[in-house]
């Protein structure tokens, strides 16, 4: 595997040789290197506006043919250089499609700005191999980034459109119809650029530009040199709040989750109404009884003015429904009735509706 260490030599027509280490020996391997005319993706013939918020470019089909003949390292990563700038500028990217016109490459707008390119300017494209990244430190360029409820999910989705990250770049991502510019401050293990394709990446957030730390006596503004950050662990998706900005982001995420949970459907929620509203204000009817000497009960309806019902105290096993107590047949109170003779029990007279006629 060879790495872009800037030590390649040019051999006419832009062809270069990179270095390969195999078995401790330093060998040479041919490297893709070409100059193309750079154009923004907005000028690409077709609806590819979404590619403007990523780190991949469009190259011509001839580049794919040449790359297929070389022993390159996958995934395909490229270094873009603007040699005509006052100070040589460079960045790294991946390739999205090999569908551009011959002699042209189409770049996202943020790459055009990073390399200080205008439409039609020449740009040097070299294929390189970068180390897999383990950590990147980012700094939003506006406090509007704090309005996002779930930063981890937004970044995971946005970084899928990138193949490499370079220190010094200010990339542009899009979320919910708004653009956010984010600067790359630091990368590890390489101090200049990393490969982020299919890798677990830990992300540190520096305080956004213009962020004012709350509850600070000095009320100083945060800058790129601020030590306040939040670390998001790419391995388990957790976060380690290490400053007030981290707590600020954490608080917003929890508030958003609570709002979502409160808006979920819950069965049998609401209040009920009675049709007999006039009786709602009336005090509940009391069925406590006051036994008198005749073993009868007196309900609250039978109480006089100023009298209060007493607590209902009945023997165990006795039910009371608010009426006078009538002992069941066969109890002690009705034992005297059993002394009557059978003839006395069935005494009475009958009547007929139609009288018989006398003959």
What is the pLDDT confidence band of residue 275, given thresholds at 50, 70 and 90?
confident
- Bigger pLDDT: 92 or 49? 92
pLDDT at 59: 96
Report how far residue 178's alpha carbon sits from residue 28's, in angstroms, rounded to the nearest whole number: 46
pLDDT at 45: 87
Per-residue pLDDT at 269 exceeds 50: yes
> Is the Cβ–Cβ distance between 109 and 55 less than 8 Å?
no
Mean local confidence (pLDDT), 82-102: 89
Mean local confidence (pLDDT), 30-53: 90
At 300-350, the pLDDT tens digits run 455 566 666 666 677 777 776 666 666 777 766 555 555 555 556 666 677
What Rg do the C-alpha atoms of the chain give, in angstroms?
44
pLDDT at 247: 63
Per-residue pLDDT at 2 exceeds 70: no
pLDDT at 150: 85
> For tokens 């029990």, what's the residue?
345
At 186-223, the pLDDT tens digits run 999 999 999 999 888 898 888 899 888 776 554 444 44
At 102-160, the pLDDT tens digits run 999 999 999 999 999 999 999 999 999 999 999 999 999 999 998 888 888 888 889 99
Per-residue pLDDT at 287 exceeds 50: no
> Is the Cβ–Cβ distance between 199 and 228 less than 8 Å?
no
pLDDT at 189: 95
Across the chain, mean pLDDT equals: 74
Q: For the chain, what percent of residues have pLDDT higher than 90?
A: 37
The partner residues of 165 in beta bridges, in order of sequence, read 194
Report how far residue 217's alpha carbon sits from residue 244's, in angstroms, rounded to the nearest whole number: 14
Per-residue pLDDT at 262 exceeds 50: yes
The partner residues of 80 in beta bridges, in order of sequence, read 91, 125
- Bigger pLDDT: 148 or 37? 37
Token representation of residue 79: 């270094």
pLDDT at 16: 41
What 3-state DSSP class applies to 157?
helix
pLDDT at 49: 86
CA 354, 356, 359 angle in degrees (round to 5)? 155
pLDDT at 354: 76
Q: For the chain, what percent of residues have pLDDT higher than 70?
A: 60
At 62-81, the pLDDT tens digits run 999 999 998 888 899 999 99
Burial 219-236 (b: 16+ CB within 10 A, else e): eeebeeebebbbbbebee
Mean local confidence (pLDDT), 57-61: 96
pLDDT at 257: 75
pTM: 0.56
What is the pLDDT confidence band of residue 44, given thresholds at 50, 70 and 90?
very high
């Amino acid at each position: 595997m060879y790495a872009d260490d800037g030590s390649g030599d040019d051999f006419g027509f832009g062809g270069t040789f990179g270095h390969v280490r195999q078995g401790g020996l330093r060998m040479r391997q041919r490297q893709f290197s070409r100059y193309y005319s750079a154009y923004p993706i907005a000028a690409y013939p077709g609806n590819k506006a979404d590619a403007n918020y990523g780190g991949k470019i469009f190259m011509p089909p001839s580049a794919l043919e040449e790359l297929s003949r070389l022993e390159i390292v996958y995934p395909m990563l490229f270094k873009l250089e603007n040699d005509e700038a006052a100070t040589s500028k460079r960045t790294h990217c991946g390739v999205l499609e090999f569908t551009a016109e011959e002699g042209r490459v189409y770049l996202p707008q943020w790459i055009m700005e990073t390399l200080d390119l205008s439409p039609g300017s020449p740009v040097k494209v070299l294929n390189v191999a970068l180390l897999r990244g383990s950590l990147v430190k980012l700094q939003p360029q506006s406090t509007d980034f704090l309005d996002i409820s779930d930063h981890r999910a937004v970044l995971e989705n946005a970084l899928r459109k990138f193949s490499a990250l370079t220190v010094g770049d200010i990339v542009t991502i899009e979320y919910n119809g708004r653009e956010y510019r984010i600067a790359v401050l630091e990368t590890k293990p390489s101090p200049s650029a990393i490969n982020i394709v299919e890798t677990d990446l830990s992300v540190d957030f520096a305080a956004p530009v213009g962020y004012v730390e709350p509850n600070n006596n000095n009320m100083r503004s945060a800058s790129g040199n601020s030590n306040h950050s939040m670390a998001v662990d790419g391995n388990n998706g957790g976060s380690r709040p290490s400053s007030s900005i981290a707590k600020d982001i954490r608080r917003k995420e929890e508030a958003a989750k609570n709002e979502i949970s409160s808006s979920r459907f819950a069965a049998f929620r609401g209040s009920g109404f009675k049709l007999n509203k006039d009786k709602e204000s009336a005090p509940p009817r009391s069925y406590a009884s006051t036994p008198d000497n005749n073993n009868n009960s007196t309900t609250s309806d039978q109480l006089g003015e100023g009298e209060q019902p007493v607590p209902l105290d009945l023997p165990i096993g006795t039910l009371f429904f608010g009426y006078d107590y009538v002992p069941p047949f066969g109890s002690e109170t009705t034992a005297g009735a059993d002394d009557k003779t059978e003839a006395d029990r069935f005494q009475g007279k009958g009547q007929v509706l139609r009288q018989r006629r006398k003959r």
